[in-house]
Chains A and B, each alone.
Chain A
Amino acid sequence: MDLNKLFKAMVIAIPLFALGACSSTSESETDASSSTSSTSGQTSGEYANGGVETGGVAPVLSPVEQQKLKEQELRRENIIYFDFDRSEVQTENAEILQAHGNYLVEHPNVKVLIEGHADERGTPEYNIALGERRAKAIAKYLQSMGVQPSQMSIVSYGEEKPLDFSRSEGGFAKNRRGVLVY
């Protein structure tokens, strides 16, 4: 009677252990294959180079070209931060928004999605409203520079997509943001 029960337990338990073993094997296999491919990539690169190195000088740029290069650099920054429970665009973000605005004015076919986010304090639905107000503040700022409203769309994620999960003052500050997505 007892032995019978034991066998029943084993019948269930053994395949469970077997399953566990299977999954761990397949994981290690993926690791191995990915590391092999990266090594082979490096090797081919070295052969193609033939051990030669090149050098050069910076081109002479006109002031317009210099400005363009600077703005290109600034556009890599696509996050605008906000103060707690506020949705005014801060002056320190003016340069970044200027770069994005000029680019959008010059390229009227380019569209941008402006995401609004909030930190985790307050209620989720209030934060959706706050996130939308931040995204709209950015849109209004860009519009005042001549960006067409048809080039911009808005979505508020409130506190649903934090960047920083620490729930510290610093973390909250990183999460109160607008993001420009091209």
Chain B
Amino acid sequence: MKILVKWCVFALVIITTPVRAALDIVITEGIDAARPVAIVPFVWQGQGPVPASISDVVVSDLARSGTFKPLDTRALPQQNIANVAQFNVQQWHGIESEALVVGSVKPYGVDQYLVKFELIDLVKAQLEATKGPASKDSYLLENRETVISANQFRQYSHRISDIVYEKLTGIRGAFLTRIAYVVVNHEAKSPYQLMISDYDGFNEQMLLRSPEPLMSPAWSPDGRRLAYVSFENRKAEIFVQDIYSQQRTKVSSFNGINGAPTFSPDGKKLAVTLSKDGQPEIYVIDIDTKVSQRVTNHYAIDTEPSWFPDGKSLLFTSERGGRPQIYKVNLQTNKVSRMTFEGEWNLGGSITPDGRSLIFVNRTNGRYHIARMDLATRYMQVLSSTQLDESPSVAPNGTMVIYGTTYKNQQVLAAVSMDGRFKARLPVGKGAVKSPAWSPFL
């Protein structure tokens, strides 16, 4: 019988293995600086096994944010508590954590569940416990309840993480977001794949597979469409694809380069690189009318346009000064000004959502790293310490940058926090993973 049980466990492991995410995160630096937080496993108030663990998702979300360090659940003094009424502050004496998340899951009709959660201010509770009994509700930072369906567990867990993160930091959480990226497996007949997944690598979906290269995915501001470059017709062309309906529209197919698409903040236009008139220049194309308007005019390479949040100017990479550097062009006046001066090369720039910083690839002493420049002070900080870093994409809340890098001679994705303290790697199974693009808030 024991052998049978062991075999059964073994069989279950085999069955569940493929469900694991392809993008599994490895935090490489920055746990020491993180703030401790306690997440108690949510109390299951139904029959049979729990459909899914909400607290596991919240724990990994908060750990991946780089801001928090969730305490080991097994070491928490109180388990099996669902709300502040069951919370006993005496038992939490000496536990160093600023807050405590508790909750419950209860069946609620066919395929429906009632999820409740509460965020308790542990520091306040510990302070007031010394002054004598107080109303427990005064410790409550947040409490919510929602009915979800069975397939919404991960989604709603990310929502809880978003709320907890925002309550504790004042910054909107970016856990309910997606990433788009390109996977290349040279052994496959059709090696190039455009993929999307949840921000944490779960729910990976293929949007397009091609025998020829796919490049530069970029999200529309509503998170519904992706623009990208495809070589399927043996030349570079820009497509826009609806991620839900799978509908594809060819937006640009001029002679020469059709590259580096990015959506305008209103989602109606694409800034692109075209070489139809000679050298690579920046153009703005209206997606509906396909009318293109030339923005730059120089014999050197101009590429990698990126919009300022106000939609009035573009950043771009140009080697008009001899080496690739980042410039800004005003779309009304076409006036060009240089933005970067430090290091040998600076390229692939984008502005953070708050409009305060510039994120780009910096080359110093022949090494390529992700860097940030404060626009007000012009202070530049190199953020990453990996190899051959490229394609930085900023999270919609501006706290993290995801980028393409090389680890053990394989192209992988990595993430670094905006202050450079937290670093993580997202290793994968088969093939090279590159060109990540972080979606807007969903």
Taking beta carbons and an 8 Å cutoff, which residues of A are in contact with B? 2, 5-6, 9-10, 12-13, 16, 120-126, 128-130, 132-133, 154-158, 160-161, 165-167
Closest Cβ of chain A to B389, distance in Å, is: 10
Contact (A125, B14) CB under 8 Å given A9-B8, A161-B213, A166-B409? no
- Residues of chain B contacted by A125 (CB below 8 angstroms): 215-216, 259-260, 273, 303-304, 317, 348
Flag if B259 contacts A128 (CB, 8 Å). Answer: yes
Q: Which of B237-259 contact A (CB under 8 A)?
A: 256-257, 259
Flag if B348 contacts A154 (CB, 8 Å). Answer: no
Closest Cβ of chain A to B340, distance in Å, is: 14
- Residues of chain A contacted by B260 (CB below 8 angstroms): 125, 128
Q: Which of B377-397 contact A (CB under 8 A)?
A: 388, 390-391
Closest Cβ of chain A to B230, distance in Å, is: 11
Flag if A132 contacts B256 (CB, 8 Å). Answer: yes
Flag if A126 contacts B317 (CB, 8 Å). Answer: yes
- Residues of chain B contacted by A167 (CB below 8 angstroms): 388, 406, 409
User: Would you call B92 an interface residue if the criterion is a C-beta within 8 Å of the partner chain's C-beta atoms?
Assistant: no
User: Would you call B345 an interface residue if the criterion is a C-beta within 8 Å of the partner chain's C-beta atoms?
Assistant: yes
B interface bracket (residues with beta carbon within 8 Å of A): 35 or more
Contact (A126, B303) CB under 8 Å given A165-B409, A167-B406, A167-B409? yes
Flag if B324 contacts A126 (CB, 8 Å). Answer: yes
Contact (A16, B15) CB under 8 Å given A5-B8, A132-B256? yes
For B354-367 the 0/1 string (1 means CB < 8 A from A) is: 00000001010000
8 tightest Cβ-Cβ pairs between the two chains A and B: A160-B213, A13-B11, A123-B348, A129-B301, A125-B260, A129-B280, A6-B8, A9-B11
For B403-442 the 0/1 string (1 means CB < 8 A from A) is: 0001001000000000000000000000000110000000
Most A C-beta atoms less than 10 A away, residue of B273, B345, B390: B390
Flag if B301 contacts A133 (CB, 8 Å). Answer: yes
User: Would you call B347 an interface residue if the criterion is a C-beta within 8 Å of the partner chain's C-beta atoms?
Assistant: yes
Flag if B317 contacts A124 (CB, 8 Å). Answer: no
| Chain A residue, CB-CB nearest to B184 | A160
- Residues of chain B contacted by A130 (CB below 8 angstroms): 301
Bound-state CA distance A104–B62 (Å) is: 63
Contact (A16, B14) CB under 8 Å given A121-B388, A129-B280? yes
User: Would you call B234 an interface residue if the criterion is a C-beta within 8 Å of the partner chain's C-beta atoms?
Assistant: yes
Flag if A9 contacts B388 (CB, 8 Å). Answer: no
| Chain A residue, CB-CB nearest to B301 | A129
Flag if A121 contacts B368 (CB, 8 Å). Answer: yes
User: Would you call B4 an interface residue if the criterion is a C-beta within 8 Å of the partner chain's C-beta atoms?
Assistant: yes
Bound-state CA distance A129–B301 (Å) is: 7
Bound-state CA distance A156–B259 (Å) is: 11
Contact (A123, B11) CB under 8 Å given A128-B303, A157-B213, A157-B231? no
Closest Cβ of chain A to B278, distance in Å, is: 9
Known pairs A13-B11, A125-B304, A155-B235; list 10 more (Cβ under 8 Å). A5-B8, A6-B8, A12-B11, A16-B14, A125-B260, A125-B317, A126-B348, A155-B231, A160-B213, A161-B213
Bound-state CA distance A165–B236 (Å) is: 23
| Chain B residue, CB-CB nearest to A113 | B234
- Residues of chain B contacted by A161 (CB below 8 angstroms): 213
Closest Cβ of chain B to A176, distance in Å, is: 15
Flag if B273 contacts A13 (CB, 8 Å). Answer: no
Closest Cβ of chain B to A86, distance in Å, is: 12
Bound-state CA distance A123–B345 (Å) is: 11
Contact (A132, B368) CB under 8 Å given A12-B15, A126-B303? no
Partner of B347, one of A5, A16, A126: A126
- Residues of chain B contacted by A133 (CB below 8 angstroms): 301
Flag if A13 contacts B14 (CB, 8 Å). Answer: yes
- Residues of chain B contacted by A160 (CB below 8 angstroms): 213, 215, 231
A-B contact pairs, 27 of them (CB 8 A): A5-B8, A9-B15, A13-B14, A122-B345, A122-B361, A123-B304, A123-B317, A123-B347, A123-B391, A125-B348, A126-B301, A126-B304, A126-B324, A126-B347, A128-B257, A128-B280, A129-B259, A132-B256, A132-B257, A132-B280, A155-B235, A157-B213, A157-B231, A158-B215, A160-B215, A165-B409, A167-B406
User: Would you call B275 an interface residue if the criterion is a C-beta within 8 Å of the partner chain's C-beta atoms?
Assistant: yes
Closest Cβ of chain A to B301, distance in Å, is: 4
- Residues of chain A contacted by B259 (CB below 8 angstroms): 125, 128-129
